[in-house]
């Protein structure tokens, strides 16, 4: 039985960074998130791909024991084209082709409806809301989003934020969504909408956790070999919720550890294009870097 439900995109990405280029590579928020979560827990995925989606990509997800009964095959796969300049913290979108995602009707399979942990990874906020509507009564819901949805579906996005437990955003998105340059103000505005916690991801500079009375700043990892940061936000989210589902401990202390596990998986992800690093990653690699994170923070 799966212990995390993840809805998001499964994509074919065309990406250019200062270190190379890939075309129609495996990507998507749900892909990265479920892959990352699978190191800790057993994710089930809801998404849609087209008939053009390579079989080998499906096999790769299956090999990590990701439950794909909620993956529909209709029309043409969602395609994202982006690039990074020397500031690798900011993805620039060239093209977003929603394709089969545009008319995708969420149908949560019956046996997923009682899953307790839900990750609403980056996708249309109306599809995120519909997923929650069909679930029985999840214990813990995390949401992620991006500028595309803040620009196009802000009202639906605010509606869904009111119903969840943890909001994940990167710094640029937090400023955009709450109309302020100050991240503390943005986090407080977010908390006023209802979530118990807000996590602001700052790319290679770590992540900030805000709850009602506490604040935690997770270190970043001094990564020398960065090739492609695509999917780091999603792998962070997947690692975060994966660790929480595994331990079933939702204390603030456990959130802090989960943030570091999320950062560990995300930092590995940046070392290569697409899922190329995550597909060979082992739990040993993860634990080793987790210890290095602990050392970085010691003073
Ligand atoms: P990130 O973790 O933020 O780097 O997410 C990267 C992934 O997001 C890529 O693999 C894209 O396929 C996917 N993506 C890009 N644009 C969107 C969008 N508007 N909605 C959902 N997923 C997207």
**Ligand 1 atom index nearest CA of 122:** 21
Confidence of residue 223 (pLDDT cuts 50, 70, 90): confident
Look-up of token digits 């989003």: 145
- pTM of the predicted structure, to 2 decimals: 0.97
- The confidence score (pLDDT) of residue 72 equals 98
Classify residue 267 as exposed, middle or buried by CB count within 10 Å of its CB (0-12, 13-18, 19+): buried
Q: Averaged over 41-64, what is the pLDDT? A: 98
Has residue 1 got a pLDDT over 90? no
Has residue 203 got a pLDDT over 90? no
Confidence of residue 23 (pLDDT cuts 50, 70, 90): very high
pLDDT digits (tens, 9 = 90+) for 139-148: 999 999 999 9
How far apart are alpha carbons 200 and 19 in whole angstroms?
27
Phi, psi (rounded to 5 degrees) for 198: -130, 130
**Ligand 1 atom index nearest CA of 237:** 2
Confidence of residue 71 (pLDDT cuts 50, 70, 90): very high
43 lines ligand 1 (CB under 6 A): no
100 lines ligand 1 (CB under 6 A): no
How far apart are alpha carbons 262 and 34 in whole angstroms?
12
How far apart are alpha carbons 141 and 5 in whole angstroms?
9
Report percent pLDDT > 70 for the chain: 100
- The confidence score (pLDDT) of residue 166 equals 98
pLDDT digits (tens, 9 = 90+) for 141-195: 999 999 999 999 999 999 999 999 999 999 999 999 999 999 999 999 999 999 9
- The confidence score (pLDDT) of residue 220 equals 85
13 lines ligand 1 (CB under 6 A): yes
Average pLDDT value over all residues in the chain:
96
Span from the CA of 174 to the centroid of ligand 1 (angstroms): 16
Confidence of residue 125 (pLDDT cuts 50, 70, 90): very high
Q: What is the torsional sign of CA 161, 42, 255, 216? A: negative
Nearest CA to ligand 1 atom 11: 28
How far apart are alpha carbons 98 and 26 in whole angstroms?
15
């Amino acid at each position: 039985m799966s212990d995390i439900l993840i809805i998001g995109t499964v994509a074919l990405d065309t990406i250019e960074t200062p270190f190379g280029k890939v075309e129609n590579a495996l990507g998507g928020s749900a892909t990265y998130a479920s892959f990352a979560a699978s190191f800790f827990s057993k994710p089930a995925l809801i998404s849609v791909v087209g008939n053009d989606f390579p079989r080998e990509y499906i096999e790769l997800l299956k090999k990590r024991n990701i439950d794909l009964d909620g993956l529909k095959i209709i029309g043409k796969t969602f395609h994202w084209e982006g690039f990074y300049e020397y500031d690798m913290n900011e993805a620039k979108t060239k093209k977003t082709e929603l394709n089969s995602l545009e008319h995708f009707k969420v149908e949560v399979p019956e046996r997923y409806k009682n899953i307790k942990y839900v990750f609403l990874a980056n996708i249309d906020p109306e599809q995120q809301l519909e997923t929650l509507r069909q679930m029985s009564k999840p214990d813990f819901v995390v949401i992620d989003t991006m500028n595309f949805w803040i620009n196009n579906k802000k009202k639906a996005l605010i509606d869904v934020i009111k119903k969840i437990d943890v909001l994940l955003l990167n710094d640029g998105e937090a400023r955009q969504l709450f109309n302020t340059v100050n991240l503390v103000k943005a986090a407080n505005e977010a908390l006023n909408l209802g979530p118990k916690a807000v996590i602001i991801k700052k790319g290679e500079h770590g992540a900030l956790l805000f709850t009602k009375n506490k604040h935690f700043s997770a270190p970043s990892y001094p990564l020398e070999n960065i090739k492609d940061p695509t999917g780091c936000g999603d792998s962070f989210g997947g690692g975060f919720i994966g660790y929480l589902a595994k331990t079933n401990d939702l204390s603030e202390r456990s959130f802090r550890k989960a943030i570091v596990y999320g950062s560990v998986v995300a930092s590995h992800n940046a070392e290569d294009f697409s899922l190329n690093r995550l597909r060979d990653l082992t739990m040993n690699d993860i634990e080793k870097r987790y210890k290095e994170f602990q050392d970085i923070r010691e003073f």
